[in-house]
Amino acid sequence: MTALLEVANIRIRFRSKNRIQALMDRDRDPFIEAVCGVSFTLEAGETLAMVGESGAGKTTLARSIIGLATLRQGSIRFLGNELSHLSDAAFAQFRRNIAMMFQDPVGCLSPRLTVRSLILEPFKIHGIGTKDWKAETKRLLEMVGLSDSFSGRYPHQLSGGQARRVGVARALALAPKLIIADEPTAGLDVSVQGEVLNLLAKLQADLGVSFLIITHNLSVVRHISDRMAIMYLGRFVEQGITDEIFYHPRHPYTHALLSANPNPDPDDPKKQVVLKGEIPSLMNRPRGCEFHPRCPCVQDRCRTEAPSLETVAPGHLVTCHYPIKHDGSFLTP
Note whether 235 and 74 are within 8 A (CB).
Answer: no
3-state secondary structure of 221: helix
State the Cα torsion 128-133-139-143 to the nearest 10°: 60
pLDDT at residue 283, rounded to an integer: 83
CA distance 224 to 229: 14
- Cα–Cα nearest to 220, from 253, 193, 247: 193
Structural domain boundaries of the chain?
A: 5-97+176-319
CA distance 276 to 283: 20
pLDDT at residue 213, rounded to an integer: 95
Phi-psi region of 137 (alpha: psi -120 to 50; beta: other; left: phi over 0): alpha
| CA distances (Å), origin 49, targets 76, 230, 240, 326 | 18, 9, 10, 22
Note whether 105 and 98 are within 8 A (CB).
Answer: no
State whether CATH 3.40.50.300 applies to domain 5-97+176-319: yes
Q: For 59-115, how does the pLDDT look when each residue is reduced to its tens digit (9 = 90+)?
A: 999 999 998 888 999 999 999 999 988 887 788 888 889 999 988 888 889 999 999
Please report which residue ranges of 208-332 form alpha helices under DSSP H.
218-224, 242-247, 252-259, 300-304
Non-local (6+) Cβ contacts of 250 within 8 A are 238, 312, 316, 318, 320, 323, 324
pLDDT at residue 268, rounded to an integer: 65
pLDDT at residue 269, rounded to an integer: 61
Q: For 12-34, how does the pLDDT look when each residue is reduced to its tens digit (9 = 90+)?
A: 999 888 888 878 888 878 888 99
Q: What backbone torsions phi and psi does residue 315 show, to the nearest 5 degrees?
A: 75, 5
Q: What angle do CA 322, 328, 330 make, to 5 degrees?
A: 30
Mean pLDDT for each consecutive 10-residue tract of the chain (333 residues)? 89 87 81 92 95 90 90 92 84 88 89 94 86 89 93 93 93 93 87 87 92 88 92 95 93 90 67 80 89 91 93 92 76 53
Q: Quick one: how far is CA 137 from the chain centroid?
A: 28
